[in-house]
Amino acid sequence: MKYETHQCIASRLRRLSRIADSYLRKELAAFKITENQMNILILLKRLVKVEQGIIGKKLVLERSTVSRGVKLLEKRKYIKRTSEYRPEIELTSTGVAMVQKFMPFWGKFMDELYDKIGTTGMKHLEELENKLI
């Protein structure tokens, strides 16, 4: 075999993701939202209003993950759907307030990881992502 199992790229990327997620979970615990829910809220803050399918494409999430996240965020009144034939999702005022509340904690998380991997590490992450997309 050409590669050893410990060299599996997918496993190593998932491992890095779990390590980063563990830092983020500590910051998000007080807000009772997951990383995926946080990403949905941040995306909606940026895009304002979007169809649910676009969320999955932009965040590279499975349909079921997006659907679950959207339902929970809707239940907590952070987002709402328009009543159109192809409904779009947008933040409510409560959702906007939540994003504003957790962004400083997300910034702290980013600072901690950035301090660990530096500019070079960030550049390598971007290069990897661009190569794999």
Residue 13 has pLDDT above 70, yes or no: yes
pLDDT in the model for residue 1 = 65
Q: Express each pLDDT in 92-106 by its tens digit.
A: 999 999 999 999 988
- Structure tokens belonging to residue 91: 């933040």
Q: Indicate the angle between helix axes 93-132 and 9-28, nearest 10 degrees.
A: 160
Q: How many CB atoms lie within 10 A of CB 72?
A: 17
Q: Express each pLDDT in 25-61 by its tens digit.
A: 888 888 999 889 999 999 999 998 999 999 999 998 9
CA distance 2 to 55: 38
Longest dimension (CA), the chain: 56
Domains of the chain: 5-132 (1.10.10.10)
